[in-house]
Structure 1
Amino acid sequence: MFGILKKTLGAAAKEVKAEYGESKDFLEAICAASALVAASDGDIEESERRKVVSIISNHPTLSKLYQSNIIEQTADTMFKRAKDVSGRQQLARELDDIKSRPDGSQMAEDVYLIALDIANSDGEIEPQEDAVLKKIAARLGIDASKFDF
């Protein structure tokens, strides 16, 4: 019986990896949303970038989908873009990339939840972070009130 369960769970894990890990769009959207949250106060600190990389690298699903060096490189790219207005607009466009995918609505919710984790990683969501989270939710086409618990 446990052998069947193990095979079923293993197949499900491979299916998730095939859907989400096949393309970097999901990781890029997560890192883009995280960089937007980190830049919300107008100052991006190295500690914030490290925190984002740590949260993504230690996430139970994401750590299996993407190698740590890919996570680090993608986060670095997105954080560099977050330094000016045109770069932040490019980050917003990264969010658009997942919406057109067949699994885009689930990806959008996952991206939002990780951005929420980033904003709350110091124990409190600042007003600037909350404003950016609302913009991210709107851009992704999700109802942020679903996650108010």
Structure 2
Amino acid sequence: MALWDRLKESAQTMQAQLEAKRNDLKSGAFRDASMAMCALVAAADGTIDPAERRRVAHLITNNEVLRNFPAADLQRRFDAHLETLTADFELGRVSVMQEVAKARKKPAEARAVIQIGIVIGGADGDFDATERTVVRDACYALDLAPHEFDL
């Protein structure tokens, strides 16, 4: 099986697992951590390409699990995290990663945040090394083992 096919299958599996847990993923900590994760993945290489920003915003508003929250609220939070990352990437990355870490208290939510990062990162068919690194770092922030997610 080609790498592209494995990546696509993995992202689809993660999305299906998220949808199965949808009713359990309604807390503010999950919402905030998910938007922080989306911003980190979108800016993983240190730049925020407008096309990628639009693509991730589109994925957020069309994700079944994230429909538990108002789309405008999610967009506002995502944009705020991107602004933090744009102002000073290294300092912003620390701040946004702290937001991700807030989901640590509930293991199901923590795993879901990582799965969202993988789904967002793999949506374009290229879950590149910088995106994988960001998601791996988020695993550490959430006290999860990266190998559980093949990272």
Fold conserved between structures, TM > 0.5: yes
TM-score (norm: length of structure 1): 0.77
Q: Is the 8 A contact 2:101 2:138 kept in 1?
A: no
- The number of residue pairs the alignment matches comes to 129
RMSD of the TM alignment (CA)? Answer: 2.1
Paired residue secondary structure (1:117): helix
TM-score (norm: length of structure 2): 0.76
Shift of 1:22: 4.4
The equivalent position to 2:43 in structure 1, one of 39, 42, 45, is 39
**In structure 2, what residue type is equivalent to 1:61?**
V
Aligned to 2:7: none
1:1-149 residue pairs with structure 2 within 5 A? 16=23, 20-23=25-28, 25-63=29-67, 65-83=68-86, 84=88, 85-100=90-105, 104-148=106-150
Distance 2:134 2:74 in 1: 22
Larger RCO (CA within 8 A; separation ≥ 6):
2
Q: Is the 8 A contact 1:31 1:74 kept in 2?
A: yes
Shift of 1:20: 3.6
Provide structure 1 residue ranges, at least 5 long, that are not aligned to the other structure: 1-12
Q: Tell me: CA distance 1:115–1:22, structure 2 relative to 1, closer, same or farther (3 Å).
A: closer
Shift of 1:49: 2.1
Paired residue secondary structure (1:28): helix
Q: Looking at CA atoms only, which structure, 1 or 2, has the larger radius of gyration?
A: 1
Distance 2:129 2:91 in 1: 23
State percent identity of aligned pairs. 27
